[in-house]
Amino acid sequence: MMTERTSLSLTLLLVGVGLFLHTYTLGFADLGGAFSPVFFPRILLAGWIVLAILSLVADVVKARAVTGSIATITQWWVVLIFMIATAGYIALLEYLGFFASSALFSVTALVASGQRKVLDIVLFSLLVPGALVVLFNHVLTMPLPVSTWFWWI
Amino acid sequence: MLDAIPDALALLFTLQGLSVLILGTLLGIVMGALPGIGSTVAVAMILPFTLTMSQAPAILLLIAIYAGSVYGGSVSAVLINTPGTPQSAATCLDGYPMAQRGEAGKALGWATIASVAGGLTSALLLIFAAPQLAAFALNFGPIETFALVLLGLTCIVSVSEGSLIKGLLAGMIGLFLACVGGDPITGEARFTFGYFPLISGFNLLAVVIGVFALSEVLTRVSEKLDTAKSLVSFSGIVLPKLAEWKGRIGGLVKSVAIGCGIGVLPGTGAATAAFISYAEARRSSPRSTNFGKGEPDGLIASEGANNAVTGGALIPTMALGIPGDAVTAVMLATLTLHGVSPGVRLMADNPTLIAAIFVGFFIINIMLLPLGMLVSKIAAPLLQMRESFMLAAIVILCVVGVYFVRGNPFDLLIMVGAGVVGFLLRRQGFPMPPLVIGMVLGPTLEISLRQGLILTDGSFSAFCTGRPIATVLALAAIGMLSLPLVRLLRSRRQ
């Protein structure tokens, strides 16, 4: 039975096997014993594979024993928006600068997590990044990223 | 180490030294009081900001945050019945009932005194026990070091809540992640897949912040976010009178002893110590029938033990370079980032730094009393803050922290990747401390194993023959690993 849990264990097993096989493709793999750079990783990856198999077996047994599905996330969409907003925040950090990208992230994250009080959202989105800009750029004199658009902040 | 104390005091009693101690303790109490942050996330979040500091203030700031946050957890446990840190979960049992009957100030007074007593005793134990242990460990060669790190890694067994297999797998992933990049002996690039930024490996800091702080944010977002909590009436800490201590000193001493003892054991943690101490107090207290209804003995047991763990956990960390729990694993990472190699030579090579840490830890615990009284009143209104605002602020601070260290956008990518992977793994029951412990101890384990094998001409059996210390350490590691099996067999028999 394929559940979210068994899929993850299977993915980890496949990644472990893939990395283990990769150690044989490296040019220096044939160096002897402890001198070989892949000597220690191979031991670890062998352990990884064994543990991933055990984890997969345990998950399959559990999935059979439990009737019904594992509890699902009620707020998947909020998590996804948070993940995308964080990735976007990082992507925009150097282009828009710290203040604007942080404010944009704050608005997105707060609205996604159910906040509806506009004043609270606006105040938080301006005050928290603003306070950090003042602290880092002016007090600690360790500048945060600044964009050509918002250089004056 | 005693010779280094004058230099350590000169280092501590400067404007920077004292500011770091006060600011760290204040920050620790506030962050510990905010539910959802916890000691590990608090230390991980502040870690990047220490990189511009010199070694001693940087470590002291983190230790102050650690000690402060363990105490701070009691503030929210008493005032809103939500432990700020897992260590304070047992504090809720008697703290909140006291607060409900209008004695919040007094409950926090008992908690504060017990915390200070626990912290100070563990600081003394740290000052006197760690150097002895470190002096003994100076005789260790690569083989003994390998056996010691192996023993340190067995703490994964204790920190693997839920599934031991998943905990070990997470530890294995952490060990593997430490292998990515240049080989420590030959310098050859491993597992970089031709991607140049990976040549220096995964940035430990970005991974730590990702798997602890960012994955915590995603986990909390995935659950229903809490609305604002209602606060009981609180006008400041009221310290218990001397007469009220009659018949309770013994309980305090016992809880502190339990905390110190458990703290020294790698991976057991303050939450376990607090519950064991609470259970013991409930068994032995003459007022045991009042437990759970607002009995100060319960508060003393929980807070005395959890604060005593802080110093105890620092003993194996500082003396042997093996972490006592997730927070001390982050501290070892900090030492590495500051160019100090954690390990058996840590105290011998850095006497002033270590003396400053020990004395500083003692001062931090003294400061818990006045700062706790000051901050708890200021922090109380913060407990009503909506969780979504706190989570957004944590993400912004994580981004600032990771970017600020090297100004490298690749580190931010690693942080987000670690956060997402950490979230997915945690969701399926994989504990995260083993991953970080593996990453921190991985390089030492690899180097000591390979050096040992080179010395013994590739013979694994030579690791145990004629090396009593290594044999004892290896047997202890096997014992630690087989503990869960023994427990399982015993529970089945019962």
ipTM, two decimals = 0.87
Q: In chain B, positions 181-220, which contact chain A (CB-CB < 8 Å)? A: 183, 185-186, 188, 190-191, 214, 217-218
Q: In chain B, positions 409-428, which contact chain A (CB-CB < 8 Å)? A: 409, 412-413, 416, 419-420, 423-425, 427-428
Q: Give me the pLDDT at residue A28, please.
A: 67
| Bridge partners, residue B190, by sequence | B181
A3-6 CB contacts, 8 Å cutoff, 24+ apart: A3/A59, A3/A63, A3/A69, A3/A70, A4/A70, A4/B427, A4/B428, A5/A59, A5/A62, A5/A63, A5/A70, A5/B428, A5/B429, A6/A56, A6/A59, A6/A60, A6/A63
Interface touch B221/A12, C-beta < 8 Å = no
SS3 state of residue B338 = coil
Interface touch A48/B169, C-beta < 8 Å = yes
As to burial, measured by CB atoms within 10 angstroms (0-12 exposed, 13-18 middle, 19+ buried), residue A103 is buried
Cα torsion B66, B68, B71, B77 to 10°: value is -90
Distance CA B88, CA B302 (A): 7
The residue of A14, A81, A113 whose CB has the most chain B CBs within 10 angstroms, and thus the best one to mutate to test that interface, is: A113
| Bridge partners, residue B182, by sequence | B189
- Kindly list the distances between the CA atom of residue B376 and the CA atoms of B31, B71, B112, B127, in Å, as whole numbers in the listed order: 11, 10, 10, 29
Interface touch A128/B191, C-beta < 8 Å = no
| Residue found under tokens 């650690």 | B66
Interface touch B221/A136, C-beta < 8 Å = no
SS3 state of residue B37 = coil
Interface touch A132/B396, C-beta < 8 Å = yes
Please, what is the Cα angle at B236 between B230 and B239, to 5 degrees? 125
Using CB atoms, which residue from A33, A41, A114 is nearest to B176? A41
By mean pLDDT, which of B34-43, B239-248, B267-276 is the weakest?
Answer: B267-276
| Residue found under tokens 């202890």 | B476
CA torsion through residues B408, B410, B413, B417, sign: negative
**Following DSSP, what letter does each residue of B345-371 receive, concatenated?**
THHHH-HHHHHHHHHHHHHHHHHHHHH
Q: Is the pLDDT of residue A30 over 80?
A: no
Q: What is the mean pLDDT of residues B38-49?
A: 82
> Do the Cβ atoms of B398 and B205 come closer than 8 Å?
no
Rounded to the nearest integer, the mean pLDDT of chain B is 83
Question: What are A34-86's pLDDT values in tens digits?
Answer: 788 888 999 999 999 999 999 999 888 877 665 444 445 557 788 888 899 99
Q: Give me the pLDDT at residue B217, please.
A: 87
Distance CA B482, CA B480 (A): 6
Question: What are B420-430's pLDDT values in tens digits?
Answer: 999 999 888 88
Share of chain B above pLDDT 90, in %: 13
Number of C-alpha atoms within 13 angstroms, CB side, residue B31? 29
Using CB atoms, which residue from A37, A39, A79 is nearest to B222? A79
Question: What are B135-191's pLDDT values in tens digits?
Answer: 777 777 888 888 888 887 876 776 666 678 898 999 999 999 999 988 888 888 889
Question: Which residue does chain B place closest to A11, by CA atoms?
Answer: B425
Question: What are B291-350's pLDDT values in tens digits?
Answer: 888 888 988 998 898 888 888 888 888 887 777 677 887 887 777 777 777 667 777 788
Q: Is the pLDDT of residue B267 over 70?
A: no
- Kindly list the distances between the CA atom of residue B135 and the CA atoms of B1, B352, B396, in Å, as whole numbers in the listed order: 10, 15, 43
Interface touch A90/B413, C-beta < 8 Å = yes
Q: How far is A153 from chain B (nearest CA, A)?
A: 17
C-alpha distance across the termini of chain A, in Å: 56
Q: Is the pLDDT of residue B106 over 60?
A: yes
The residue of B183, B214, B394 whose CB has the most chain A CBs within 10 angstroms, and thus the best one to mutate to test that interface, is: B183
DSSP letter for B468, please.
Answer: H
Which pair of structure tokens corresponds to residue A125?
A: 């989105």
φ/ψ of B189, rounded to 5, equals -75, 135
Q: Is the pLDDT of residue B36 over 70?
A: no
Which pair of structure tokens corresponds to residue A71?
A: 């509890």
Tell me which residue of B421, B390, B15 sits closest to B202, measured CA to CA: B421
DSSP letter for B195, please.
Answer: -
Using CB atoms, which residue from A19, A78, A87 is nearest to B221? A78
Q: In chain B, positions 26-55, which contact chain A (CB-CB < 8 Å)? A: 52
Using CB atoms, which residue from A52, A73, A115 is nearest to B222? A73
Question: What are B468-485's pLDDT values in tens digits?
Answer: 888 888 888 888 777 777
Angle, helix B351-382 to helix B296-320, in steps of 10 degrees: 150
Q: In chain A, positions 32-61, which contact chain B (CB-CB < 8 Å)? A: 33-35, 37-41, 44-45, 47-48, 51-52, 54-55, 58
Interface touch B188/A37, C-beta < 8 Å = yes
Q: Give me the pLDDT at residue A69, please.
A: 44
The residue of A40, A45, A115 whose CB has the most chain B CBs within 10 angstroms, and thus the best one to mutate to test that interface, is: A40
Interface touch B165/A5, C-beta < 8 Å = no
Which pair of structure tokens corresponds to residue B450?
A: 């390979």
Q: Is the pLDDT of residue A149 over 90?
A: no
Distance CA B121, CA B195 (A): 50
Using CB atoms, which residue from B225, B419, B453 is nearest to A33? B453
pLDDT bucket at B130, cuts 50 / 70 / 90: confident
Cα torsion B94, B97, B100, B105 to 10°: value is -20
Question: Which residue does chain A place closest to B393, by CA atoms?
Answer: A128
Please, what is the Cα angle at A137 between B65 and A110, to 5 degrees? 65
Q: Is B173 on the interface with A (CB under 8 A)?
A: yes
Q: What is the mean pLDDT of residues B44-49?
A: 82
pLDDT bucket at A29, cuts 50 / 70 / 90: low
> Do the Cβ atoms of A44 and B179 come closer than 8 Å?
yes
Q: What is the mean pLDDT of residues A1-14?
A: 86
Q: Give me the pLDDT at residue B415, please.
A: 92
DSSP letter for B36, please.
Answer: T
> Do the Cβ atoms of B299 and B110 come closer than 8 Å?
yes
The residue of A45, A79, A125 whose CB has the most chain B CBs within 10 angstroms, and thus the best one to mutate to test that interface, is: A79
Q: Is A126 on the interface with B (CB under 8 A)?
A: no
SS3 state of residue B15 = helix
pLDDT bucket at A17, cuts 50 / 70 / 90: very high
pLDDT bucket at B225, cuts 50 / 70 / 90: low
